[in-house]
Amino acid sequence: MGSSSDLNQLKQRLASARSLVVLTGAGISADSGVPTFRGADGLWRTYRAEELATPEAFERDPRLVWEWYNWRREFLATKRPNDAHYALAEWERRQGRFWLITQNVDGLHREAGSRKLSEIHGNIWMVRCTRCGWVEKNRSVPIPILPSCARCAGLLRPHIVWFGEALDPADLARCDEVLRTCDTLLIIGTSGVVYPAAGFAATAKRAGAFVGEINLDETPQTALADISLRGRAKDVVPLLLER
């Protein structure tokens, strides 16, 4: 985990933060039993996520893509937020200026009670109409395939940013604003290789923020961090919140 002095120093820094931003990645969800759905553990039938999570795959075979997302939704429906998710939701309640940025699409932060957040890659429990653009929450498990819009009967798609698609400009603008004005950034469980999130630490650092990191392994962000702790999010994050 790092030395107890590092833990205490980060804890004190977070306690005195006037404006705190937290960035989370797959590592925090892994503690709830959520796999990455990419790489060797991400195979579904004979497909990889990179082959299915694209607008081209959906246009070619929307049924196949929805069958994959339905499988993911059924799996995620069995998972619950862990102590790190709940600790961050509590931090939001205590901290005046707080913003959470997550790369995860599993919705566990919202389930834990987080409300001041940007889900920059979308949310698997939200759907968007390909015809009229209407976005709404949908917790159906299983979801009818193919799902249609209640407003216009158009084909629904997962409200997720797929490979080859741009992140929502409003989300990016909000993230840029909070990163440039925070005095403390805490990075939890992200590998720091997927952009634009991989550049968030540098943005905060240039603006003079203190940067803390929690991860099982060293990452490209570690060199930018003022303090980097090794450990599981569910174990370390609640310790930092203790009064």
Residue ranges per structural domain of the chain: 4-33+80-121+167-241, 35-78+122-160
Sheet holding 19-24, edge to edge: 117-119, 97-102, 19-24, 184-188, 210-215, 227-230
Residue 164 CA, distance from chain mean position? 18
The residue written with tokens 């991400």 in the block is 42
pLDDT in tens, 90-139: 999 998 899 999 999 999 999 999 999 999 999 999 999 999 999 999 99
- Domain 4-33+80-121+167-241 = CATH 3.40.50.1220: yes
84: confidence class by pLDDT, cuts 50, 70, 90? very high
Q: What's the CATH number for 35-78+122-160?
A: 3.30.1600.10
- Residues near 201 by beta carbon (within 8 Å), at least 6 away in sequence: 23, 185, 187, 192, 211, 221, 224, 225
In the beta sheet, which residues pair with residue 210?
A: 184
What pLDDT sits at residue 44?
85
pLDDT in tens, 168-208: 999 999 999 999 999 999 999 998 888 888 899 999 999 99
Specify whether 85 is catalytic.
no
Tell me the mean pLDDT in the region 139-158. 97
CA distance 138 to 152: 16
- Tell me if 137 sits within 8 A of 129, measured CB to CB: no
CA distance 214 to 237: 8
Tell me the mean pLDDT in the region 74-100. 96
Tell me the mean pLDDT in the region 11-26. 95
Residue 2 has pLDDT above 60, yes or no: no
pTM of the full structure: 0.94
Q: Which of 85, 109, 121, 159 is flagged as catalytic?
A: 121
